[in-house]
Structure 1
């Protein structure tokens, strides 16, 4: 289902045609499913969009902490970030982030790492908001690809690649 001409700098999300909400996500060379839980009509075959957003915050926080600790030569053995998201119609979205720092860190190092957690790029994006630009793109001309032989030939070449 993955598109052969996918932009490596973009995240591409395509409906799978399986279930009501299931989509295939191509991001950073990884492919995974996103979906909604069964109680709202999905198959539960992957994280929902808000789980993905919370995952982005948690992943960025842990990675930023790791980078900072390594640059400082601090003994951070492991960072674990747990993120909870709540959304109510009357209030702003809220992300509650719980950071666990393992290792022989002193109080000052722990305090500084918690400050750094608030400086991770995804935290700053969520905190500041973003501009979203949406444009309509034309669907690929699959018939032209088949007529040119690119679709089937490319599939055969990929199947025969070592």
Structure 2
């Protein structure tokens, strides 16, 4: 365990999560000025006041896919009217590999070549790539520091742009 007096420079893209004191599992999440709750369902001892952590992970994949497809189609000047993504998550046991099923619906006057390319781009969204290759998690116990209201560095937007390539319409 790290020394509890250790301090680090705040990461401007860091998400702040803290217990609310309401219920056993309810937490408030602060992300670049937005605040929302996460919780466990009532059936599992929570208050059901927000998505559970796996719902948030699946939501990240759906949001990133939607945003990446929108950015790519905009750059190409394609007539993409709307994108919606439904994501489900499953895992047989704690030691089993996670499985995400992503259903993408795009509307607009797109030809088959454009739809095929959008399917390829969906697999290049940064969150999909993160899940696909795995991630390292490093944990430090540190002294409390005040929360910051900084807007971040735009890391996700930069990675999404990279996923779409430098291709322009």
Partner residue in 1 for 2:40: 36
Q: Does 1:122 align with 2:147?
A: no
User: 2:128 is paired with a residue of what secondary structure?
Assistant: helix
Residues of 2 paired with 1:137 and 1:21: CA distance? Answer: 22
List runs of 5+ in structure 2 lacking aligned partners.
1-9, 147-169
Q: Determine helix, strand or coil for the equivalent of 2:127.
A: helix
Unmatched tracts of structure 1, length 5 or more: 1-5, 142-162
Residue 15 of structure 1 is matched in structure 2 by 19
Give 1:49's aligned residue: 53
Q: Does residue 81 of structure 1 match 2:80? A: no
Greater gyration radius: 1
Secondary structure at 1:82 match in 2: strand
TM-score by length of 2: 0.77
In the alignment, is the contact (CA less than 8 A) between 1:8 and 1:29 conserved in 2? no
Indicate if the aligned counterparts of 1:23 and 1:35 stay in contact, CA closer than 8 A: yes
User: Normalised by the size of structure 1, how large is the TM-score?
Assistant: 0.80
Other structure's SS at 1:77 match: strand
- 1:139: Cα distance to partner? 3.3
Given the alignment, which residue of 134, 141, 144 partners 2:139? 134
Q: Does the alignment pair 1:111 with 2:97?
A: no
Mapped partners of 2:34, 2:97: distance in 1 = 31
Structure (1 or 2) with the greater helix fraction: 1
Secondary structure, aligned partner of 2:35: strand
Q: CA deviation at 1:132?
A: 0.6
